[in-house]
């Protein structure tokens, strides 16, 4: 087999990349350590050297099949790459969630490697996979791992038992899980406080965002997936963006559609359809939705975002921000 085509993920100190055949010796040296192996459910101890080669090849097949992503955690020492450990996510059978797992070589403990790597992979997964939940487990006698899971935003979700190959049988574990907001923080940054003396002390500032349902000749609606690094990454939405001070919603859409999709739209082709009014924790979102059937240019993802032309009856199958969801039924009935 050949290594999978997967772009490495980077953090401030680390690189997460597919394992390579030449990693086998270092992987075996790090994981064939009782203090490491005893915390891992699927790792036997002692760990046979040839098992490292077999497992690396299996991770390539899983990435290629889109079933699991087990990556090497790589750092740098004296200007050279060094294997630190591994981190992985495995999709559930219904593909709505993923299970997180990781390990770090003992000599790298205490440097914050595990939460840095795990959080990075979770953010990537929530932005690129159609999942809503990350799950994980930690041995009840492993407070270090429990602390890592809490640190990246996962919360306790009960107790269970899992079979640990290294320990020869089932062991009690604590279960953890979390969604997009728990792991990535606030879903959308709040706008600046409203500058009005008349506003009540507990009033939320109002954020005005304009959106548009682009409808092609076949009656399909365009959805754009929020890219990694943005609030609500991984969710699908109608194209559009924030209305700047002094700007009309129509002007905002004309600007946003050019910047994001490289198409030219005139105000006359933007037909007001409905609006969303949704309260978030720190602000209130007001979002007028327009319909547009005519534009100049070919739609393309200028910012690298994923795009999907969707039949109206299929819109409900896409995970969307809370403010967009109520608009789906109205669009479906109208179109």
DSSP string for 201-235: TTPPPEEEEEEEEEB-TTS-EEEEEPPTTSTTTT-
Task: For the chain, give the percent of residues with pLDDT over 90.
Answer: 79
Residues 81, 74 contacting (CB under 8 angstroms): yes
115-164 pLDDT, tens digit per residue, is 999 999 999 999 999 998 999 999 999 999 999 999 999 999 999 999 99
Place of tokens 């075996």: 28
pLDDT at 166: 93
Q: How far apart are CA 22 and CA 111, in angstroms?
A: 25
Residues 220, 308 contacting (CB under 8 angstroms): no
Mean pLDDT confidence for 203-223: 93
Judge: domain 9-184, CATH 3.40.50.300: no
Q: Kindly tell me if the per-residue pLDDT of 196 is higher than 50.
A: no
pLDDT at 230: 80
pTM check: above 0.75 = yes
Q: Kindly tell me if the per-residue pLDDT of 277 is higher than 50.
A: yes
pLDDT at 273: 96
- Which of the two residues, 179 and 271, has the higher pLDDT score? 271
Among 146-150, 219-223, 226-230, the least confident range: 226-230
In this structure, are strands 97-104 and 133-139 parallel, antiparallel, or unpaired?
A: parallel
CATH number of 206-334: 3.90.79.10
Structure tokens at 140: 């009840």
Confidence band of 187 (pLDDT split at 50, 70, 90) = very low
Three-state DSSP class for 181?
helix
Mean pLDDT confidence for 9-36: 96
- Average pLDDT taken over every residue of the chain: 91
Task: For the chain, give the percent of residues with pLDDT over 70.
Answer: 94
Task: Name, in order, each residue with C-beta under 8 angstroms of 81's C-beta and a sequence gap of 6 or more.
Answer: 15, 74, 75
Confidence band of 185 (pLDDT split at 50, 70, 90) = low
67-115 pLDDT, tens digit per residue, is 999 999 999 988 899 999 999 999 999 999 999 999 999 999 999 999 9
Q: How far apart are CA 29 and CA 43, in angstroms?
A: 13
pLDDT at 186: 44
Q: How far apart are CA 82 and CA 196, in angstroms?
A: 56
* Domain ranges across the chain: 9-184, 206-334
Structure tokens at 35: 């203090």
pLDDT at 201: 59
């Amino acid at each position: 087999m050949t290594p999978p085509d997967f772009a490495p993920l980077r953090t401030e100190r680390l690189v997460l990349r597919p394992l390579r055949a030449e990693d086998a010796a270092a992987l075996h040296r790090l994981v064939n350590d009782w203090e490491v192996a005893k915390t891992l459910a699927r790792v036997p101890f002692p760990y046979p050297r040839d098992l490292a080669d077999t497992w690396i090849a299996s991770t390539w097949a899983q990435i290629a099949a889109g079933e699991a992503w087990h990556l090497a955690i790589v750092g740098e020492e004296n200007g050279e790459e060094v294997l630190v450990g591994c981190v992985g996510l495995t999709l559930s059978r219904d593909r709505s969630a993923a299970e997180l797992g990781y390990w770090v070589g003992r000599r790298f403990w205490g440097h914050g490697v595990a939460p840095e790597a795990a959080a990075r992979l979770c953010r990537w997964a929530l932005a690129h996979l159609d999942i809503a939940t990350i799950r994980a487990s930690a041995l009840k006698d492993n407070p270090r791992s429990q602390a890592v899971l809490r640190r990246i935003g996962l919360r306790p979700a009960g107790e269970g038992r899992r079979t640990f190959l290294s320990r020869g049988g089932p062991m009690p574990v604590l279960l953890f899980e979390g969604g997009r907001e728990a792991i990535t923080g606030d879903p959308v940054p709040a706008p600046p406080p409203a500058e009005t003396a008349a506003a009540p002390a507990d009033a939320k500032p109002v954020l005005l965002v304009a959106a548009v349902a682009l409808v092609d000749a076949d009656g399909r609606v365009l959805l754009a997936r929020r890219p990694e690094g943005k609030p609500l990454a991984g969710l699908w939405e109608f194209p559009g963006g924030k209305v700047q001070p002094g700007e009309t919603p129509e002007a905002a859409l004309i600007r946003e559609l050019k910047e994001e999709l490289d198409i030219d739209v005139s105000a006359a082709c933007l037909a007001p359809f409905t609006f969303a009014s949704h309260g978030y924790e720190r602000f209130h979102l007001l979002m007028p939705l327009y319909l547009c059937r005519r534009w100049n240019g070919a739609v393309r993802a200028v910012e690298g975002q994923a795009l999907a032309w969707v039949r109206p009856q299929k819109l409900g199958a896409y995970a969307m921000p809370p403010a967009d969801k109520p608009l789906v039924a109205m669009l479906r009935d109208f179109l």
